[in-house]
Amino acid sequence: MNSEDNVINTSLQADKLSSSESAPVIEIWGKRPLSGHISVSGAKNSALVVLAGTILCSQDCRIRNIPNLVDIGRMADVLTALGVKVTRNGDTLDVDASSISHSRAPYEIVSKLRASFFVIGPLLARLGVARVPLPGGCAIGARPVALHIRGLQALGAEVHMDHGIVHAYVPGTRGRLKGGKIYLDYPSVGATETLMMAATLAEGETVIENAAQEPEVLDLANFCRAMGARIRGAGTNTITIVGVPSLHSTDYGIIPDRIEAGTFMLAGAITKSPISLSPIIPEHLTPIIAKLAEAGTRVEMEGHSRARIVPGEKLLPIEIETRPHPGFPTDMQAQFMALTTLANGDSVITETVFENRLQHVAEFNRMGANIRLTGNSAVIRGVPQLSGAPVTGTDLRAAAALLVAGLAAEGKTTLHGLHHLDRGYENIEAKLSAVGARLRRVPSSSLVADSANQPVVV
Ligand code: EPU
């Protein structure tokens, strides 16, 4: 292992980049056909929660297929602050939580990575106490955690709020949560994951009803099972967990990222390019593949984990409403909006999962799109052509969607807001360059007064 292997993309690096005046941008020269193959990385949202789940285990765990992302670096920072040893070697993380020493997650990191709140469940299960700052909202919505907290209370935890910190503990001397019946008002991914982790070490049986069914929930359950947890029903709306006294060491591989794969499918569809990608788990992409077909682009499987984009003659208008899995994923809403800007007709996209996840509409309109917002719906009248423009990604998926739009736009698009993009897409410029896209990352300070609406060779 060389010294670089140990270095995880840290939050410090990310903060420097996002706050600096020369924060980088990506310049994209559009209208290039793409060809070739793209490799899909491990799923960010699985990796984040599986890392939190390692706290449950008093032996060491090896987690493979971890994407190298700013958010993963932040989760590793949280674990380290709790006394967990985290060592990286390529896409493998060795995590040793045997001598976890703190029950308090640092505000500085939790405020930047909402998912780090999810450590509350495993901390409480393992130590009988957890102190985790309220994560607060983010660009896409207020993102409350009431369902996590009510569920933990149903498992016997006392929870109170003190100076912005959620303080949870198990009363009594034995410090073990008690199994219980939990009905979630909404199938929240994070609440399901928090409660499933908490219940693995509880005394007795827990049933979570109206649970989230996302593939990342199932991945977490499989990881916990690999450590000896007794969980059934994950991936359906009812999960049953029979608590065990302790969990053991394991070696576990994270599933491929369905949202990264979906984003590359959209890059193929919008540029009408027959690119292929792997590995994917096609069942995880069912709503994405179905909507692509309605929009005139087929996805053909070549073997069980490799897909090829088969572009149609025309991009067709579609209607989308985001929903919890197996409905259409909110994390693909912005990318599909990019596609519909160029469709032959009017599309309607309605966001129902997050209350503020349509900020990219204004950015697409800067590129010549014709989108009107009415409440939480966007009516997109297809235009024949997008024109490259300076645009800003307002959240992670919005940034990816603008990049996708830039691939199809006439001239140069300059994408700002890369601190969002880098949270969720590993090596995205390298992956897209390798299939023929023209794009490069430069410090914004190096942008000169439109000297070059010209392609460069990268
Ligand atoms: N909600 C509540 N109360 C709660 C919890 C959630 O009202 O206690 C609401 C939220 O405000 C939101 C809705 O329920 O309106 C859905 O939130 P959910 O809890 O399901 O989402 P999450 O766990 O916070 C994860 C992903 C998101 C993804 C959503 C939905 C991780 C780390 N994040 O968030 O990923 O959009 O599920 O699928 O797993 C992304 O990757 O870009 C991203 C935002």
Mean pLDDT by 10 residues, the chain (458 residues): 41 46 90 98 98 97 97 95 96 95 89 91 96 81 87 97 92 88 98 98 98 98 98 98 97 98 98 98 98 98 97 96 98 98 98 95 98 97 98 96 98 96 95 98 73 45
- The whole-number pLDDT of residue 2 equals 38
453 CA to middle of ligand 1, Å?
Answer: 39
With a 6 Å cutoff on the Cβ, whether 45 touches ligand 1 is: yes
Q: How far apart are the first and last CA of the chain?
A: 30
Task: Please name the helix (run of DSSP H) or strand (run of DSSP E) that holds residue 254, with its range, or none.
Answer: none
- In 143-257, which ranges are continuous DSSP H helix? 146-154, 189-200, 215-226
Report the distance separating Cα 98 and Cα 77, nearest Å.
17
CB-CB contact of 64 with 253 (8 Å): yes
Indicate the burial class of 245 (C-beta count within 10 angstroms; 0-12, 13-18, 19 or more): exposed
- Type of residue found at 65: N
Report the distance separating Cα 45 and Cα 335, nearest Å.
18
Closest C-alpha to 228, from 202, 211, 197, 249: 249
- The whole-number pLDDT of residue 382 equals 98
Report the distance separating Cα 45 and Cα 423, nearest Å.
11
CB-CB contact of 433 with 439 (8 Å): yes
- The whole-number pLDDT of residue 448 equals 57
Report the distance separating Cα 417 and Cα 246, nearest Å.
43
Ligand 1 atom at shortest distance from the alpha carbon of 329:
38
Q: Percentage helix, strand, coil, to 5, in the chain?
A: 35, 25, 40
73 CA to middle of ligand 1, Å?
Answer: 20
Closest C-alpha to 194, from 149, 233, 239, 258: 149
With a 6 Å cutoff on the Cβ, whether 141 touches ligand 1 is: yes
Report the distance separating Cα 38 and Cα 434, nearest Å.
8
- The residues with which 141 forms a beta bridge, in sequence order, are 138
Q: β-strands 390-392, 412-416: how paired?
A: parallel
The one-character DSSP state at 378 is E
- The residues with which 27 forms a beta bridge, in sequence order, are 414, 440
Angle, alpha carbons 292-297-298 (nearest 5°): 90
With a 6 Å cutoff on the Cβ, whether 191 touches ligand 1 is: yes
189 CA to middle of ligand 1, Å?
Answer: 6
Largest CA distance in the chain: 70
358 CA to middle of ligand 1, Å?
Answer: 16
Q: Mutation test of ligand 1: which of 259, 353, 395 has the most ligand atoms closer than 8 Å to its C-beta?
A: 353
Residues in Cβ contact with 120 at an 8 Å cutoff, skipping those fewer than 6 apart? 105, 130, 132, 148, 152, 166, 168, 194
- Ligand 1, atom 37, residue with closest C-alpha: 189
In the numeric block, the tokens 């997008």 are attached to: 386
Rounded to 10°, the helix 189-200/120-127 angle is 10
| pTM summary value | 0.94
Report the distance separating Cα 192 and Cα 279, nearest Å.
26
- The whole-number pLDDT of residue 456 equals 44
- The whole-number pLDDT of residue 4 equals 38
Report the distance separating Cα 351 and Cα 374, nearest Å.
11
- The whole-number pLDDT of residue 360 equals 97
57 is catalytic: no
